[in-house]
Structure 1
Amino acid sequence: METLKTMILTGYRSYELGVFQEKDPKIEIIKKSIKNTLIRYLEEGLEWILISGNLGVELWGAEVVFSLQKEYPELKLGVIFPFADFGSQWNEKNQEKLSLIKSQADYVDAVSHEAYKNPSQLKNHTRFLLEHSGGVVMVYDEEFPGKNQYFLKEAQDFSETHEYLIDKITMDDLQNVINE
């Protein structure tokens, strides 16, 4: 497989993991696991991480990218929203967090430049991300499907006709980080 230059990072929303506080110890475990995974790809030539801006794994992953940029200045973060007003209905604290991530990202845009209208915007967004990346790192476990099962299904379908890597960080992987 040729060098992966661009990967999507996605996974569970914070509420799916029962994480409601910034100080939840689960966050550090997830971040460490993401960091370990990304370093492997960085050492093979990874340059871009793309996220959709979802609360949870994606925003924690963005923070990991920012911390890795000190050691890997070539690493860039792209935030590509499915629609224009993404996150506008969130509470103030979460909007501030998203705003901070956007301000530090290397690229920010939306696939649809209109407010949310219908699910086709989400489908177009997923397709766009798949077509503009060589793989995905997902915090995902088959036993706990969550919202990302839809993205995973699209990625699996896409990988049947394109060279596309799906790297899952499972609950076992997270447990291994705890045991390190």
Structure 2
Amino acid sequence: MFLRRIVITGYKAYELGIFNENHPGIHYIKKALAKELVTLLDDGLEWVLLSGQLGVETWAAQVIMDLKDMYPQLKYAVIPPFLDQEATWNENNQHIYQEIIEFADYYRALTEKPYEGPWQFMEKNKFFIRNSDGLLIIYDEEMEGSPKYIKKLAEQYAKNNDYRIISITQYDLQAIVETEQMDQMDQW
């Protein structure tokens, strides 16, 4: 199936126990995202949709910014569910978010209102599924978290529509860690 537009999402940083940008796990998450993105790009991917939440989505945006040198056709949109999503974040996280917005090919808050309630997240999920061909999600059924809502919606949508769901699980991430460790041992 040809995927022209995908949504990338996954756990928020705190759901993974990641509280700073120097955490070694981020490297492996970015590597997994880059691997999937390159495969999708080689098959014609053009757009990535993100809401800009802290964690997998901000790391995905950073991967996309790095890939744009080799894949200038790749574009990404940041569409948060409400205005000023980052207002309560610390200064460092606000800076990361501003950089992601600055380099985005498209930015606009979906509801164009400040936070009012959980309905804005539900509307964001519906909008993303309706306006994409697939979902790339870092999620593992064994570790429930906030991505379960969009995954469930995508699975329901895929029952009646041509919609692809690509999951990166803890086992996929562990395989990347082990491969990299083996490569490092071979260099000794």
Instruction: Bin the TM-score by the shorter chain.
Output: over 0.9
The amino acid that maps onto 1:131 is R
1: distance between equivalents of 2:101 and 2:15?
Answer: 23
CA deviation after TM superposition for structure 1 residue 144, in Å: 0.4
- Is residue 41 of structure 2 the alignment partner of residue 42 of structure 1? yes
The residue matched to 2:79 in structure 1 has which SS? strand
The residue matched to 2:108 in structure 1 has which SS? strand
Partner of 2:79: 80
Which consecutive unaligned segments of at least 5 residues does structure 1 have? none
Partner of 2:160: 161
**Count of paired positions:** 179
Partner of 1:12: 11
Please report the TM-score for the alignment, with normalisation by the length of structure 1. 0.97
2: distance between equivalents of 1:16 and 1:124?
Answer: 22
CA deviation after TM superposition for structure 1 residue 120, in Å: 1.8
The residue matched to 1:81 in structure 2 has which SS? coil
1: distance between equivalents of 2:74 and 2:126?
Answer: 23
Partner of 1:148: 147
Partner of 1:60: 59
CA deviation after TM superposition for structure 1 residue 79, in Å: 0.3
Partner of 2:132: 133
Report which of the two structures shows the higher radius of gyration computed on alpha carbons: 2
The residue matched to 1:110 in structure 2 has which SS? coil
The residue matched to 1:8 in structure 2 has which SS? strand
Between 1:48-57 and 1:114-123, the stretch displaced more is 114-123
2: distance between equivalents of 1:18 and 1:123?
Answer: 25
CA deviation after TM superposition for structure 1 residue 35, in Å: 0.3
1: distance between equivalents of 2:22 and 2:90?
Answer: 18
CA deviation after TM superposition for structure 1 residue 60, in Å: 0.4
CA deviation after TM superposition for structure 1 residue 124, in Å: 1.2
1: distance between equivalents of 2:119 and 2:26?
Answer: 31
Please report the TM-score for the alignment, with normalisation by the length of structure 2. 0.93
The amino acid that maps onto 2:42 is E
Give the root-mean-square deviation of aligned CA atoms: 0.8
CA deviation after TM superposition for structure 1 residue 23, in Å: 1.1
